[in-house]
Amino acid sequence: MEYALIGVIGIVVLVGVSVFSKQLGIATPVVLVVVGVAISFLPILPTSFEVPPWVILTIVLPPLLYSAAIQVPLMDFRRNIGPISVLSVVLVVVTAFVIGFILYAILPDLDLAAGIALGAVVSPTDAVAATAIAKRLGLPTRLVTVLEGESLVNDASALVLLKSAVAATAATVHVAAVAGQFALSVVIAIAIGLVVGIVTVFLRSRLNDPVLETAMSFAVPFIAYIPAESLEASGVLAVVVAGLYTGHNSARRFSAQARIAERLNWRTVQFLLENGVFLVMGVQLKSIISGVETHPAGLDVWGCLALGLLICVLLLVIRGLFIVPIVLGLRASQRRAEQIGDRVSDGLDKMNDRPEPSTERDRRRWSRLRRYLERRSADITEMQDASIGWRGGAVLTWAGMRGVVTLAAAQTLPRETPYSFQLILIAFVVALVTLLVQGGTLPLVIRLLKVTGSDAAADRRELAGLLEEMSEAGLGALENPDVGLPEGEVLDEDVVERVRQDTLLRVEAEWERVEREEGEKEKAGPHEQYRALRSLVLDAERDALLEARSRGNYPSRILTKAQTMLDFDESRMAQRENDA
């Protein structure tokens, strides 16, 4: 009963703080940490309150990363694999060693391996707060993708490095051995994640039941995580790979109902876990301080605070030094892309001018080459249109907040490690300060630097163009002479025309919105009038349904079916209004 009450109170706090933070315009994780810190000093909370680190790393982290990975477009991840790899692997390793050497020089009883272990603990960023702010303020998609991609992969890099550093505290470990173990861990994790993704996508596509498919999706992150960890590989990376594969193939392999159900359920799970860990992070402050006071080891709370602040500054400087060559490299890639773009365009033009090969084998080769050139051309266009300049680089630097993984990883340090309680508090200070200071001021930094996202009007035109391309394909299917009903039934031309008009409705409505936003139309167009009238009709139908239910002259099963149909229509209308 006590745990149930705590859970209910926790959910109420999460929802309340989320609503409150949106009204304030502050990222929810930042407010939750502050609320958690305040709760930690309430007298009703036990002094030794702490969440075992394995709960965060084994139970919470896999589904959190999976839910984030299935939402990251693989195309965007691939296009930004360069900066993501540098930030999530190279930066993590360099940060861990720099912080480790500095702590080794400052703390007399701390060996180098333990210092590097703490460096690995504070090296991974938590992009939850950063991406929440970035999406709310409409930052460029490429910046958001780099932040999300970095946070997905750097947890794996940091945890593997932490494991190697902890092993080095107990025995002599050569750098070559650590590097080899790291590479092997990555390869095994990628292989396991890919296999799990392929197998689970295949099995889920055969279930043909949205409820069963969604239920199985909850097991996928653990199916990837557990065997990878058992083989001394990175379970976190295996989860990310499985999530990326699943998200990329869901449109092809899963039904629309299954995708909608999975999206809604995982958004709820992500909200509870994501925000819950930040609340728990704040609640543990008093317990961590108590541990330092009980085991002083020559470094008190104020000393830990000073070291934590020093590390925050170092993390910001190191990250900034890495962002500079990344921005320079992206600019150089952009210049190369401009040169390559002309050759790719020429190649596509030549293919368009030539007739298709006559043999099936040559046609397949021709098609693969054409697809490659089209994809390359799209990549070059995206690189030119969505470049990351110095202002974007400054935002990337300031967005490097630390989060709950830092705190949970710090608590896995062996208790026999010198300054073990102090190292946990230092990690907490780093996570707390970066979240509150950098996370709290990130919106201001974005506004001062005037970093803006894509043009909404241009996006609307592109969406209308894509919908038009889709509708043309749909109308082309209607023109197929082989289209018909089973058993040779003749198609009613009125039905065909109705399907044709329904197909055109969406694209016409989108072009209407484009014209209205660009000032070409002052009055509401027919499709806007349709939405307004349709909403009016749905409200009247809802009232009639409720009246029929109150009278009780229809069976409950009939009322339920009618309500489901009405809910579907209302949700579709709400989606159209949100898109508008």
Burial 139-178 (b: 16+ CB within 10 A, else e): bbbbbbbbbbbbbbbbbbbbbbbbbbbbebbeeeeeeeeb
Q: Do 430 and 468 fall into the same domain?
A: no
Does 553 share its domain with 424? no
Element (H, E) at 225: helix 220-230
The tally of domains found in the chain comes to 3
* Rounded-to-integer distance, Cα 494 and Cα 233, Å: 61
Torsion sign over Cα 98, 100, 106, 111: negative
Q: What is the pLDDT of residues 416-452, one digit of tens each?
A: 778 888 888 999 899 889 988 888 888 888 888 888 7
Distance between CA atoms of 368 and 375, rounded to whole angstroms? 11
Co-location of 472 and 444 in the same domain: no
pLDDT of residue 330: 81
For residue 559, the Cα-to-chain-centroid distance in whole angstroms is 39
- What whole-number distance in Å separates Cα of residue 435 and Cα of residue 442? 10
Single pTM value for the model = 0.84
- Per-residue pLDDT tens over the stretch 486-513: 566 666 777 777 888 877 777 777 777 7
User: Distance between CA 467 and CA 579 in Å, rounded?
Assistant: 13
Residue 41 is assigned to a structural domain of this protein: yes
pLDDT in tens, 300-336: 889 889 999 999 999 999 999 999 999 888 888 777 7
Cα 224 to chain center, whole Å?
Answer: 18
Q: Please choose, from the candidates 137, 131, 99, 105, the residue with its C-alpha nearest in 3D space to the C-alpha of residue 117.
A: 99
- Do both 468 and 555 map to the same domain? no
Is the same domain home to 415 and 557?
no
- 573 and 517 together in one domain: no
Place of tokens 């699943």: 246
Residues 99 and 198 in one domain: yes
Pairwise CA distance, residues 306 & 300, whole Å: 10
> Domain for residue 107, yes or no?
yes
The percent of residues in the chain predicted with pLDDT above 90, rounded, is 17
Q: Which two tokens stand for residue 265?
A: 């359920």
Kindly state whether residues 288 and 166 are assigned to the same domain: yes
The domain in which residue 476 lies consists of: 455-480+490-522
Secondary structure tally for the chain: helices H, strands E: 26, 0
CATH number at residue 186: 1.20.1530.20
Which residue, among 521, 523, 483, has the nearest Cα to 499 in the 3D structure? Answer: 483
